[in-house]
Amino acid sequence: MEVKEDTTTYEVAAFSDGTERKIEEIIKKLPGVDVNPKTGQIKYKGKAVETVMLDGVNLFDYSYTIGTRNINVRMVEQIEAIDNYSENQLLKGIEAGGKVALNLKLKKGKFDFSGNVDAGSGLTNEPAPLFNLNSTLLGITSALKSFYTLSFNNFGANLSPFDYYSEGTSIEDDREEEFYAKKVIPQSINTVIDPERSVFNRSWFGNANIAFKPSKNISLKTNLYYYQDVLEAEQLSAFDNIIGNQTLSTSDRQTQTKEPALYRGDVELKWNTSPTALLEYEGRIFREIISFPATVLVNQQNTLQSIAQSEAFFQKQKLVFTKKLSARQAIQGFFTHSQHQIQQDLSISPSALDLSRFEQDRQSVDNQKTIWAGESTFLGANKRDRYVFTLGIQNKHLALESRLQSRETNTDTLVSEAENDFDYQISSLYNTASYLFSRGRWQLTPAYNLRLFRQDLREISTDSAQHQTDFFLEPALAIRYKLGQNASVGLNTSYTRLANAENYSFRQPILLNNRNLVNNTPRLLLQNLFSSDLSYKYADLYNQFYSQAGLSFQYSEGGFLSNLTIGPNLTQTNFFFLPQNQTNTSLFLSAEKLVSFLSANMELDLNYSIAQYNNVLNDSELRTNRANTFSSDFSVRTAFDIPVNFNNAFSFLTSQSRSKEGESFRFSSLTNTFELLFSAIKNVPITVSAAYFVPNLSNGRQSLLFLDVQLLFLPPKAKFELEAVFRNLLNTDNFIQLEVNDFSTSVFQTSLLPRYFLINASFSF
């Protein structure tokens, strides 16, 4: 490793044990770096990474998992972690900084065109064989940098940046959430374990990323995406609901097939109109189609057939102009416009609402969200300080139409009061400012957001309307004190006001699936939120020691609460606004240390949270609830100078939920994953993995064990390698996960992919 100013450089070979195939597997091992196993999001020193560059070029933006999950380890020589990253070079040294990015430095000679092809096949006890194809092509010239990938597999692997396997969101979805309309009818497979163990798929993913510089002052980047999949899963969800002195047990056994298709294109144009001016245009467009048929056995009695379909179209354009006024001052102007349209349809046969009367339910939802915004920003800096002053205006328009119908003897009968048709507009004029003071070891950043906020909700079907105008100030303060070269303490506190009506605007019921019917009591009142966190950081990456500890507290006043009516076949939920107080407190500790005399790297993560919230259950009085959760993760990875090494990761989770008016629900679980690496045979590393799960410590008989084996053949100086993978050798067929809340215990069971064998060949060129 080398630490120089704002850049830490890691030598890839120094962190490799020879079993890594893709560069993400190396990134996970870097000191101070954390990778989310589901989304692939990377954090460096606790901060989310903005992007992962390729030889200094930002090809992937927020979809950087395309690179980390597909680029072969053999192609990369170094990984740079960059503090105070700024993609806009005109703002370097002017904006406050704090952003981080990674840069993958390619090995010498990886110019012109080079790439990698992985191809493999395998067997399982299913009739169809398993296939794996993953090809990448890298083009590097003086004017053109490009990366292409094409992949197919049918054993649950996801090499794309999109998450259609669960209700989770991708890194980019989190960043762009404000611009997306909400999908009202869910279409998710609730994977409770790694999809590579539980989901059969037929996944195609293609992507082209091209950065072209036709002249010194102009650069053009395009990103094209194609994704298509067929996901299949079998799941059981069972609930024991304690309502008063009675226990109501419900269950759904589902056989699900999800068929998503996505077509998307992005373009970015940058034009340095002068040495001190930059004009940027960003455009995005995509079309998404999802079909989601399912067969559901309800309460082990009635079988329903459902199919949820959706089609979405999204477009967004952003124009940015930056003018550098001097070495220490700059101005920026922004204009953004976006539109997202979603059409959803759900059909359930026979009826989930009234099985004795109707033979089919049909729910349709048309949802649209349009945003336009303009903003001007003045940035400045002096020798020690940074400051930002912004004026902006935004208009957000949402429109939703829905209709719930039930078919009775070949006649469409409209369910009473089950139509929605509304327009909701939010207009805001705002001024934000912040000033970063740096004095010796102290950094002090006061900030504010002054906002004039107007909401208009018009329910067309009932010819009624609500209006609300608010003028408010949202202050914030961040304090940081450096205890030395590597350590610091920080305090962040803020007061914000949130408009939550966007998610709770429809008054009449919408059928989400065979089990849930939802409506709201719309209100335009704002939620008051006070947040504060205190943290300590120690980062000595050169000696591979990183630690962080902290306390965070959130206090909210007002918000939408749930009123649940739980029945044997249907749960009806009404969300209503109440000026009630709720709190959330959490403690965390994380540490990572290379223990040299043991030749081992150790990591520890501890989290404890207490949440207090309210709800109403089956016409009860307002219930006050409390949820306590503690999780711990401890891992050890060795690097002995002998042919045997291991990696062990242990996780423990305990959760307790209770209502002051009811019973307490608790469960504890543990997971231990042990990997043993044998390298006694030269160029043939063998990895044996055992994963042990106890979903409920009070019932150890439900424990599960997975056994996997990987063999690699790595000929020296050759451009190919062979891999043999044996998964689920013990043929474990089901996985169970427990959850608790303030009134129930839930059991989720999913069927697993059977034992399989796969041989892969990888060729580099």
**Predicted confidence band of residue 5 (pLDDT cuts 50, 70, 90):** confident
**Predicted confidence band of residue 324 (pLDDT cuts 50, 70, 90):** very high
DSSP secondary structure of 635-681: EEEE--SSSEEEEEEEEEEEEEEEETTS-EEEEEEEEEEEEEEE--S
Distance, in Å, from the CA atom of 430 to the CA atom of 391, rounded to the nearest integer, reads 6
pLDDT score, position 624: 93
| Partner residues linked to 617 by β-bridges | 564
Distance, in Å, from the CA atom of 671 to the CA atom of 550, rounded to the nearest integer, reads 25
pLDDT tens-place string over residues 716-734: 878 889 999 999 999 999 9
Instruction: Name the residue among 511, 516, 568 with its Cα closest to residue 302.
Output: 568
Nearest-5° angle of CA 591, CA 670, CA 658? 100
Q: Kindly tell me if the per-residue pLDDT of 342 is higher than 80.
A: yes
pLDDT tens-place string over residues 683-719: 899 999 999 999 888 876 778 999 999 999 988 878 8
Residue type, 167: E
Instruction: Name the residue among 33, 30, 10 with its Cα closest to residue 637.
Output: 30
Q: Which two tokens stand for residue 188?
A: 């998710």
**Helix or strand or coil: residue 74?**
helix
Q: Cα Rg for the chain, rounded, in angstroms?
A: 27
DSSP 200: B
The mean pLDDT of 425-451, rounded to a whole number, is: 96
DSSP 22: B
pLDDT tens-place string over residues 513-557: 999 999 999 999 999 999 999 999 998 877 889 999 999 999 999
Strand 734-740, strand 686-694: pairing: unpaired
Distance, in Å, from the CA atom of 542 to the CA atom of 538, rounded to the nearest integer, reads 12
Find the distance separating the first CA and the last CA of the chain, reported in whole Å: 28
Distance, in Å, from the CA atom of 382 to the CA atom of 85, rounded to the nearest integer, reads 19
Sequence-separated (6 or more) residues with CB below 8 Å from residue 515:
250, 252, 298, 352, 569, 570, 571
Nearest-5° angle of CA 706, CA 711, CA 716? 155
Instruction: Name the residue among 679, 672, 581 with its Cα closest to residue 634.
Output: 672
Peptide bond connecting 350 to the previous residue in cis, omega within 30 degrees of 0:
yes
Whether 644 and 677 have beta carbons less than 8 Å apart is answered as yes
Q: Kindly tell me if the per-residue pLDDT of 43 is higher than 60.
A: yes
The mean pLDDT of 146-175, rounded to a whole number, is: 86
**Predicted confidence band of residue 75 (pLDDT cuts 50, 70, 90):** confident
Distance, in Å, from the CA atom of 150 to the CA atom of 137, rounded to the nearest integer, reads 9
Whether 418 and 572 have beta carbons less than 8 Å apart is answered as no
Instruction: Name the residue among 252, 142, 89, 112 with its Cα closest to residue 750.
Output: 252
Instruction: Name the residue among 696, 647, 645 with its Cα closest to residue 670.
Output: 696
Q: List, in sequence order, the alpha helices (H) in 517-621.
A: none
Sequence-separated (6 or more) residues with CB below 8 Å from residue 637:
29, 600, 601, 602, 645, 646, 647
Whether 75 and 110 have beta carbons less than 8 Å apart is answered as yes
From residue 584, how far is each of 481, 555, 608 by CA, in Å?
26, 7, 11
Nearest-5° angle of CA 610, CA 614, CA 616? 145
Whether 21 and 710 have beta carbons less than 8 Å apart is answered as no
DSSP 172: H
Instruction: Name the residue among 225, 242, 76 with its Cα closest to residue 160.
Output: 225
The mean pLDDT of 41-54, rounded to a whole number, is: 90
Whether 677 and 646 have beta carbons less than 8 Å apart is answered as yes
Q: What is the mean pLDDT of the chain?
A: 92
Distance, in Å, from the CA atom of 715 to the CA atom of 721, rounded to the nearest integer, reads 7
Mapping DSSP onto H, E and C, the string for 222-254 reads EEEEEEECCEEEEEEEEEEEEECCEEEEEEEEE
pLDDT score, position 188: 86
Whether 446 and 434 have beta carbons less than 8 Å apart is answered as yes
Q: Kindly tell me if the per-residue pLDDT of 337 is higher than 70.
A: yes
Of the listed ranges 12-26, 117-131, 401-415, 642-656, the least confidently predicted one is: 401-415
Instruction: Name the residue among 52, 62, 90, 63 with its Cα closest to residue 279.
Output: 90
DSSP 753: P
Q: Kindly tell me if the per-residue pLDDT of 739 is higher than 60.
A: yes
**Predicted confidence band of residue 260 (pLDDT cuts 50, 70, 90):** very high
| Partner residues linked to 172 by β-bridges | none
Distance, in Å, from the CA atom of 577 to the CA atom of 500, rounded to the nearest integer, reads 10
pLDDT tens-place string over residues 273-294: 999 999 999 999 999 999 999 9
The mean pLDDT of 127-138, rounded to a whole number, is: 92
Distance, in Å, from the CA atom of 33 to the CA atom of 506, rounded to the nearest integer, reads 43
The mean pLDDT of 79-86, rounded to a whole number, is: 90
| Partner residues linked to 318 by β-bridges | 282, 336
From residue 115, how far is each of 146, 217, 764 by CA, in Å?
11, 29, 6
Range 110-115 contact pairs with CB under 8 angstroms and sequence separation of 24 or more: 110/75, 110/138, 110/140, 111/140, 111/141, 112/139, 112/140, 112/141, 113/137, 113/138, 113/139, 114/75, 114/138, 114/140, 114/764, 114/765, 115/764, 115/765
Whether 682 and 716 have beta carbons less than 8 Å apart is answered as no
Whether 435 and 475 have beta carbons less than 8 Å apart is answered as no
Distance, in Å, from the CA atom of 711 to the CA atom of 567, rounded to the nearest integer, reads 52
C-beta neighbour count of 108 within 10 angstroms: 7
DSSP 175: H
The mean pLDDT of 122-140, rounded to a whole number, is: 90
Whether 759 and 713 have beta carbons less than 8 Å apart is answered as no
Backbone angles phi, psi at 75, to 5 degrees: -90, -15
Instruction: Name the residue among 593, 714, 765, 762 with its Cα closest to residue 17.
Output: 714
Distance, in Å, from the CA atom of 281 to the CA atom of 636, rounded to the nearest integer, reads 47
The mean pLDDT of 110-124, rounded to a whole number, is: 84
The mean pLDDT of 300-318, rounded to a whole number, is: 96
pLDDT score, position 417: 66
pLDDT score, position 448: 98
- Please give the share of the chain, as a percent, with pLDDT higher than 70: 98
Residue type, 386: R
Phi-psi region of 335 (alpha: psi -120 to 50; beta: other; left: phi over 0): beta
Phi-psi region of 611 (alpha: psi -120 to 50; beta: other; left: phi over 0): beta
The mean pLDDT of 367-381, rounded to a whole number, is: 97
Q: Which two tokens stand for residue 170?
A: 């991708």
pLDDT score, position 536: 97
**Predicted confidence band of residue 415 (pLDDT cuts 50, 70, 90):** low
Q: Kindly tell me if the per-residue pLDDT of 110 is higher than 80.
A: no
CA 681 to chain centre: 40
Sequence-separated (6 or more) residues with CB below 8 Å from residue 717:
none
Of 358 and 723, more confident: 723
